[in-house]
Amino acid sequence: MNWLNGKKTYIVSALMALTSLVNLMTGDLTLMEFLNGEQMISLFEALGLTTLRAGIRQNQQETLHEIVKNIHFPYAG
């Protein structure tokens, strides 16, 4: 399952967003019910989860770059 490394969070986030939008697209909810209901909160949670994962990935890459730089050039500023 190495091919899923770093992608599981995005898959869960996409499924969360999809399930929250399905009720609106199928007509089960009106727009006002969607905006005031639990589905809107779930949609924002999915977007927040995606943003959090993207930030963690970026921070990991920067940290790795800094470690490699210190190994190869330990006295560089």
pLDDT tens per residue, range 20-69: 999 889 988 899 999 998 999 999 999 999 888 888 888 888 888 888 87
**Are 39 and 23 spatial neighbours (Cβ–Cβ below 8 Å)?**
yes
Element (H, E) at 44: helix 38-72
Closest CA to 13 of 42, 55, 39: 42
pLDDT at 65: 81
pLDDT of residue 1: 65
Q: CA 15, CA 17: separation in Å to the nearest integer?
A: 5
61's tokens? 């890459």
- CA–CA separation, 30 vs 25, rounded Å? 9
Higher pLDDT, 6 or 51: 51
pLDDT at 76 (0 to 100): 59
